[in-house]
Structure 1
């Protein structure tokens, strides 16, 4: 990429920029470990260094106006009506560069139950989702996303007081380590004396000794 060294940060910025139409920017920046100022600075430099920024912006605009439903042929038809002169091959190539040829498909709830792994905790929450105070009731689960031909699993911890995401991890598999890392990040955000109830769907990750021991060491109640 002329005028801009392609670093790990640059690749992260490109990935976040491609996905921000589908997910909250704040969550993507957290997962990518990118400061907001760094993201905007690199994106501005990327756009300035890219001589095809104009046509790329037109392609992105046509694609998003169609709510991600257009392929390269229909996007090109829109561009031609706008006065651009561009081949189907070029549109296809640029859409691939922008990550638009395979939009993220509808996310679905990941079913984490794989039979009996350990004892299920009591349902202490019992559908009482309202709470007056922060860090008294947390919920967590694993959500599966399809990005192109790949699957990505997201494990957030959410505070029921204000529906704020306390922490989140993502990975190519719904591992016990991934969900426990998210829990540990959330625990690190607690203040003195804060010991929330932690509710999950009781899938295999949440019956594992690593998950249960992490809760116990922090003095938290599992539900």
Structure 2
């Protein structure tokens, strides 16, 4: 009894010194003493997040929970992830879409397609572009790092078939030229003039490519 009175006395002095309302203190003390109703769900969300190396946002985590038979809406998953400080890796760093166009560095070819992308003749119209893809891997210190790959495909507008392609770790002329040569060989059976259509990026303006 005496111990409780001393504790109450100390609390009164402390609250007076800090000018903190006693009612507010009692409210938060009661809240903190309550058990966390979402403790189990928080552990599951943290586990899914860690297992996928931080690459899962709230939508994919919600689907992963659903696969385990746990039905919870995205709003709640998002709120819990915010509380735990979890943010998907792909949202941490903003990046721009890769664009091969760097201005006019060579001779720009005439647009012979003029948005007439359809053709009933195989190998007559071929289109190409460089696409950037991101993936994740661990470095020697087991830290998750972002890597990039560049795909250079040549596609037949007749049926969408990929005639040739190259994959490289950085945009480069050799990958494009090698894929172009292979596509030229594969389309050599076309009885009509062939047209290779691109966005006129830096590589497609090169003399070697145009030749």
Instruction: Using structure 1 for the length normalisation, give the TM-score.
Output: 0.48
CA distance in 2 between counterparts of 1:169 and 1:102 reads 28
1:134-158 Cα offsets, whole Å, 9 max, x none, are 0010000000011121110000001
Structure 1 CA distance, aligned partners of 2:179 and 2:57?
Answer: 33
Unpaired segments ≥5 residues, structure 2: 1-47, 70-87, 137-145
- Choose which of 139, 156, 170 in structure 2 pairs with 1:159: 156
Give the C-alpha shift of residue 108 in structure 1: 7.8
Q: CA RMSD in A?
A: 3.9
- SS at 2:107's partner residue? coil
Q: 1:139 aligns with which of 123, 127, 135?
A: 127
Structure 1 gaps of 5+ residues are: 1-58, 83-100, 214-223
4+ runs deviating over 3 angstroms? 67-70, 191-195
- SS of alignment partner, residue 103 of structure 2: coil
SS of the aligned residue for 1:144 comes to strand
How many Å apart are 1:115 and its aligned residue? 1.8
Shift of 1:210: 1.8
The answer for the alignment partner of 1:184 in structure 2 is 181
Q: In structure 1, how many angstroms separate the alpha carbons of the residues matched to 2:133 and 2:180?
A: 20
Distance 1:135 1:159, change over 3 A: same
How far 1:174 sits from its partner (Å)?
1.1
Q: Residue in 2 aligned with 1:38?
A: none
Displacement, 1:110? Answer: 2.6
Tell me the CA shift for residue 191 of structure 1. Answer: 3.7
Select the residue among 190, 201, 204 that pairs with 1:203: 201
On the 8 A contact 2:122/2:190 being kept in 1, the answer is: no
- In 1, the alpha carbon distance for the partners of 2:89 and 2:196 equals 36
Contact kept in structure 1, 2:164 and 2:179, CA below 8 Å: yes
Tell me the secondary structure at the aligned position of residue 111 of structure 1.
coil
Q: Report Cα offsets for 1:63-109 as digits up to 9, x if no partner.
A: 7xxx9657xxx69x96xx69xxxxxxxxxxxxxxxxxx978xxx985
Match of 1:126 in 2: 114
For 2:210, what is the secondary structure of its paired residue? helix
Given that residues 123 and 187 in structure 2 are in contact (C-alpha distance below 8 angstroms), is that contact kept between their aligned partners in structure 1? yes
Number of aligned positions between the proteins? 131
Q: Give me the TM-score of the superposition, normalised by structure 2.
A: 0.51
Q: Judge conservation of contact 2:123–2:190 (CA < 8 Å) in 1.
A: no
